Amino acid sequence: MYVKAAAGAVLALLLTTTVAAADPTPGSSQGGTPGPSAPAGVKVSTELPSKISVDNTSEATTLTARITNNGSKATPAIVLSVVGFGALKVTDVKGCSPVPTTRRPKGANGAYYCQISALAAGASKAFTVSATYDLQGKGQICLPVTLGTGETLLWQQGPVPFGTTRPTPNAPDTPLLLGTNNVPAGQDVSASPSPDLPSTGAPEGALPLALAGGLLLAAGAAGLWLTARKPRRH
């Protein structure tokens, strides 16, 4: 089955129920980088909301991770992963499977992989992501996309931060902006680094971040775990 073999191969490389949830702000591919190669006619990308809100009491938030095929032909089987880092913990991705804790990349706070058998040219799929955000820290999210039958990275968005330079601790929630490093309440903003995006790709001609930077986004970790188990015979 492609699910097991493909997921294991993806782990070695790097790191479906689909819900079309609407976000109050437009999506953005900010921080996205195409992979080094892709099948002819296949051109995928992902989007995250440009703004999310975190409940100041529960620290809960929801967002939509969207994948789109901008190419001229349908994709083969592909895998979209959603991985949280630092203060951002991914707690669920509806219609997707969790990566076991022991198989997550270093620093990951929750990781899920979403199997997509095919995505038609011009089509997109949206997945509802549930998460928590510790507003006293800085959090990032990463969306890598790989071929489901091999070791090809098609696209990676992030790790990209969500955050604010204007904390609202006394309000019901805190709005966080994509591409902004979070400044916790009470911290001196003037002493904080500029809220620019971190580098999400290696220099031109080099491997993308997931391959060269050591962030092994475990899109196929659960699949590798499954392949280690012998199937039962009935």
Domain count, the chain: 1
Residue 174 lies inside a defined structural domain of this protein: yes
Q: What local confidence, expressed as pLDDT, does residue 85 receive?
A: 96
Amino acid at 113: Y
Beta partners for 178? 162
Distance CA 76, CA 152 (A): 12
Q: What local confidence, expressed as pLDDT, does residue 218 receive?
A: 36
Residue 233 lies inside a defined structural domain of this protein: no
Q: What local confidence, expressed as pLDDT, does residue 95 receive?
A: 95
Instruction: Assess contact for 212 and 198: CB atoms under 8 A.
Output: no
Residue 158 lies inside a defined structural domain of this protein: yes
Residue 102 lies inside a defined structural domain of this protein: yes
Residue 232 lies inside a defined structural domain of this protein: no
Residue in the structure block whose two tokens are 């309000």: 171
Instruction: Assess contact for 91 and 61: CB atoms under 8 A.
Output: no
* Closest alpha carbon to 53 in 217, 227, 198, 172: 172
Residue 62 lies inside a defined structural domain of this protein: yes
Q: What local confidence, expressed as pLDDT, does residue 185 receive?
A: 79
Residue 234 lies inside a defined structural domain of this protein: no
Report strand pairing: 44-49 vs 27-28: antiparallel
Residue 30 lies inside a defined structural domain of this protein: yes
The domain containing residue 71 runs over which residues?
2-227
Identify the helix (H) or strand (E) that includes residue 9.
Answer: helix 2-13
Q: Alpha carbon 28 to chain centroid distance?
A: 13
* Closest alpha carbon to 221 in 110, 139, 76: 110
Per-residue pLDDT of the chain (234 residues; tens, 9 = 90+): 444 434 433 433 444 222 333 344 557 999 999 988 788 888 999 999 999 999 999 999 999 999 999 999 999 999 999 999 999 999 999 999 998 888 888 889 999 999 999 999 999 999 999 999 999 999 999 999 999 866 789 999 999 999 999 998 889 999 999 999 999 977 755 544 433 333 333 223 222 333 323 333 333 333 332 232 333 444
* Closest alpha carbon to 55 in 136, 173, 182: 173
User: Domain containing 194 — which CATH number?
Assistant: 2.60.40.10
Q: What local confidence, expressed as pLDDT, does residue 38 receive?
A: 81
